[in-house]
Every structure is written in structure tokens, then in C-alpha cells.
Amino acid sequence: MISRFACLGVAVGLIAVKPGQVIAAEDFKPPVGKITQRAAPAKGAPAASTNASAASGATAGGQDIARARSTAAAPDKGLSITSGATLNSQLIRVRTSGGTGSLNFRLLDTSGKPAELPAGLVFGSDGSLSGAAPSVASPKTLTYLIQVEDSGGGKASRTVQLTINPPLNVEGGSIQATAGGRIKSPVKFINVSGGTGNYAVSYSNPDGSAMRMPSGLVLDGSGRVSGAVPKSSEKMVGLTATISDEGGARVSIPVDFNLAPALEISTHPIELTAGATMPSALPVVNANGGSGAVRYTLFDKDGTTPARLPEGLKFDEATGTLRGLVPPTPQEGRYVVLAQDAGGGEATARFEWKINPQLQISFE
């Protein structure tokens, strides 16, 4: 019975023979990424249905294997690996019950002849899978027969599918942020395509040790940044991101932490003549420092209530300018401008405007 055929850089399985020998993989620390029991799809491809495995009638998480029969059982979900992944040989450490003596594993094709794996891959007599996965442009699935034999003549076999997915591609690695700012919504700075199943991102120092992030800053396992931006990038120098997928692939890229000066703004007091038409938009705010695009929000003088401008006047949040028709009556306004940039920077400044009486002419 095979209850699990999973691999962390290798083929690791649980095989049981009725009424002979029982084999179970023990815990070990893998040298490379996990190779899943299910045929994990390439990124962007639909996931395989799990209905068949759910209805298999397996007991204790397993499936029955008959001894040395001419007809092999239906294929398991199989192994999925990623093009270019290097699989370090990992011995299957087993415990046995019943059966006789030592075990020997063989990999056969569907006709029962010794199998030929794709170039670069090796299946060992100890049940290990090692080597480098070949390159493919699209997912490629191969079917094999795994046979185990003990020294007492007992045999069991199981068909298994090996899927090779396209390479794991990683782009990005550059973080744009503003010193002393706060990134409220996570921003993705690593983009991943290809590979097998899900992926995870880990971060390390130049010496390979785990990176200790500045207090409040978060770099998560999916390649996103959020939280409090430090005032200095000194602690981020040499940061490396390592992306690992479920097919054994690993890609490491440097992370550039580009820290811009703190965002600062100033405003221009505006005086207009009642009833006049502005020939063009008038600049209200000027920004310095910060990173990325800056957006502006206008509040009443309390700094919390959204501002309500006189009818006809409009404040452009993308450019920080005032445009439209000037009210026909004299009045004054006091407001607060909030500026927010793409790197988490924020700054505020007070803004005042005044509408003077209409221009008149008379003769003495």
C-alpha cells in the first residue's frame, strides 16, 4: 500500500505489502524544496481534481498494493518537479514489519521494462530521486511503475506519474519607499511565474543568516512589503530573497531597498477676484522628497473633515491644483492639505485662500 509518495528534493514514499512487509518514511530535514504527492500544476494552470483520491477507499491514509501481480494499480497523483531544479539524493529511511530482509527499489516503464528517466534525473535502488530536472516549455507528464522487492522474494508495485513543469521565473526585487513613512497596504515587489504549485519567499543577510527586519517593517512570504519604513536603509544592505516552489526549484535575487528622503510639502496662499474665471489651474501645493506618485487630499481646517469648496471650484487630488469658477461673493477659506506618496510617505500643510470684492471702475 502506498499512502504517501512525497518528496522534499527527492522521492520519499510509504509502501506497504500485504501480508508481508510494511515500509514507512520517517521524518527528515530536506536539503531542497518540497516535491508534492499531488501533481501540482504549473502556475496559471487549473488544479487537478482530488475526487478520485477521496473516493479511493484508502485506510489509514493509504492505498492497497497487491503482491507481485501482473496488473498494477491505478496511478497515484504522482510527483511534480520544476525544470532546472536540482534534487539532492535523500535516502528513504524505513521501518519494516513482516517480510524478509532488505529492500530494493526499481523504476520500470508501463510495460515492465527498466525505465529511462529524462536526461539528468536518476532513480536509486534505495528509492531516491536525484539529479537536475530537464527544461520544458510546457508541463510534461510521464508514467512509471515503482517496484519494491525484499530479500525473501516478496514484491509490490505501484504506478506513479512524474510531472515536469516549466522553470520558476522571478522578476523584481526593488523596493521604493520613503524614509520614516508607513506603507499601509502591502505592495508587491517580487513577481513569480512558472514553476510548480505554491511558492514561498524567505530573506537572508549577505552571510546567509536570516534577515532581522527593522522594527515595524514587514516583508512577507509572498514578496510584499508593508509597515513602518525605517529612516535609514543601513540595515537592509545586502538583503537577498530566495523563492522556493513545491517542485524543488529555488531562485535567489538581491533586494534593492531604495529609500527616498522624507516627503515634505508647502502651500501657496491664493487670492482671487469674485466672479472671475481662472484661465488655468492654480498650483496649491508643492512637494519635495518622497517616492513615486503623490496624491493630495483637502480637509477642513480641523484636518479630519473632507473639505467642501464653494460651488464651481474644484481641487485636483492628482496635481494639487485649484481650478474652476470663482464664487461671486467675497469670502475666505482655511484648509489642510494631506500628501501621500507611493512609498508610504505622508506630510500635511495648511492652505488659505481669499476671494476679494469684484473689480469695479468709476469716474470722479
Question: What are the structural domains, with CATH classification, of the chain?
Answer: 2-165 (2.60.40.10), 168-260 (2.60.40.10), 264-356 (2.60.40.10)
**What is the predicted pLDDT for the residue at 4?**
35
**What is the predicted pLDDT for the residue at 10?**
34
CB 268 within 8 A of CB 353: no
CB 244 within 8 A of CB 196: no
Pairing mode of beta strands 22-25, 94-95: antiparallel
Rounded distance, CA 340 to CA 352, Å? 20
Q: What are phi and psi of 343, to 5 degrees?
A: -100, 15
**What is the predicted pLDDT for the residue at 278?**
82
**What is the predicted pLDDT for the residue at 169?**
96
Three-state SS string over 61-130 comes to: CCCCCCECCCCCCCCCCCEEEECCCEECCCCCCEECCCCCCCEEEEEECCCCCECCCCCCEEECCCCCEE
Contacts of 55 (CB under 8 A, 6+ apart): none
pLDDT single digits (tens) 111-125: 999 999 999 999 888
pLDDT single digits (tens) 203-247: 999 888 988 888 999 999 999 999 999 999 888 889 999 999 998
**What is the predicted pLDDT for the residue at 89?**
66
CB 323 within 8 A of CB 278: yes
| Spans of the chain below 50 pLDDT | 1-39, 46-73, 75, 91-96
How far does Cα 298 stand from its chain's mean position?
36
Q: Which residues pair with 175 in a beta bridge?
A: 257
Q: Distance of CA 178 to CAs 105, 240, 267, 286, Å?
A: 58, 20, 21, 17
